[in-house]
């Protein structure tokens, strides 16, 4: 099982590094959507995080790659709603000719070992070059990302299974322009939506609260 997931993780790591190389090429049309994928796919985010740790540990070459694979294996197990975990399990159960009782125990062991919630990634690139990515988790929560033509993150929105949402809009330099919350679950009596807008210095410029009864409260701090 471990070897199976490691093989898949290593080939994903290859494609991750290829994407990084593509980004280093000047004038690639593919660059914006490629950056968007690198920034929003949970496995690639994990690679970026672990690669940094490997670098801090002074690891290079195959030792570095091995470190990344070992520390991303559990993340690979979550990918595509446990597609690789479950396929490997079925293969192992079949080829080792386990009895029904053994197979049940083995499946349980695997599910307990690689237990992080699964997810799927869906993405779309539009005619104007901007892109939209949805990471849908097994528990019903979704993280949505939008990126512009050049791959700058434009927005990020987390939608919980109960409908509550929290999100942000970003300027091209990564600065937060606004934060918003939506009480989709209807369990917060004091608001339906609330939005805070920030100026270039990060100061609160504007707060807009819409209540469940349709009334609205706005506060203008009149910043730049």
Please report, as ranges, the residues that interact with Ca ion according to CB under 5 A: 164, 183, 185, 187-188, 192, 212
Query: Could you give the residue ranges of the DSSP H alpha helices within the chain?
Result: 2-24, 31-40, 42-56, 61-70, 73-95, 100-113
Nearest position to Ca ion, beta carbon: 183
Burial of residue 124 (number of CB atoms within 10 Å: 0-12, 13-18, 19+): exposed
Nearer to Ca ion, 70 or 212 (CB): 212
Handedness of CA 37, 38, 44, 46 (dihedral sign): negative
Half-sphere exposure (Cβ direction) of 130: Cα atoms closer than 13 Å: 9
163 vs 166: CA distance, rounded Å: 10
Q: Which two tokens stand for residue 104?
A: 């049940």
What does DSSP assign to residue 188? -
Nearer to Ca ion, 81 or 188 (CB): 188
**Rounded to the nearest whole angstrom, what is the least distance from the CB of residue 206 to Ca ion in the complex?**
21
**Rounded to the nearest whole angstrom, what is the least distance from the CB of residue 179 to Ca ion in the complex?**
15
**Rounded to the nearest whole angstrom, what is the least distance from the CB of residue 191 to Ca ion in the complex?**
6
Nearer to Ca ion, 89 or 192 (CB): 192
Nearer to Ca ion, 181 or 199 (CB): 181
Nearer to Ca ion, 63 or 185 (CB): 185
**Rounded to the nearest whole angstrom, what is the least distance from the CB of residue 189 to Ca ion in the complex?**
6
**Rounded to the nearest whole angstrom, what is the least distance from the CB of residue 116 to Ca ion in the complex?**
25
């Amino acid at each position: 099982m471990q070897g199976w997931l490691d093989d898949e993780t290593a080939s994903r790591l290859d494609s991750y590094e290829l994407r990084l190389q593509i980004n280093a090429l000047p004038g690639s049309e593919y660059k914006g959507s490629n950056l968007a994928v690198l920034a929003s796919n949970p496995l690639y985010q994990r690679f970026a995080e672990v690669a940094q740790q490997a670098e801090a540990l002074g690891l290079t070459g195959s030792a570095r790659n091995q470190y990344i694979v070992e520390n991303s294996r559990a993340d690979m197990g979550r990918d595509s709603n446990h597609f690789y975990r479950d396929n490997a399990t079925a293969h192992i159960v079949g080829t080792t000719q386990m009895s029904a009782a053994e197979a049940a125990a083995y499946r349980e062991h695997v599910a307990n070992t690689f237990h992080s919630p699964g997810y799927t990634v869906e993405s779309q690139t539009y005619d104007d070059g901007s892109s939209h990515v949805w990471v849908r988790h097994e528990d019903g929560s979704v993280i949505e990302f939008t990126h512009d033509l050049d791959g700058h993150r434009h927005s990020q929105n987390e939608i919980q299974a109960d409908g509550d949402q929290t999100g942000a809009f970003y300027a091209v330099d990564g600065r937060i322009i606004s934060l918003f919350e939506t009480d989709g679950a209807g369990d917060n009596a004091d608001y339906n939506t609330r939005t805070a807008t920030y100026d270039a210095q990060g100061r609160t410029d504007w707060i807009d609260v819409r209540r469940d009864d349709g009334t609205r409260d706005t506060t203008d701090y009149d910043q730049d």
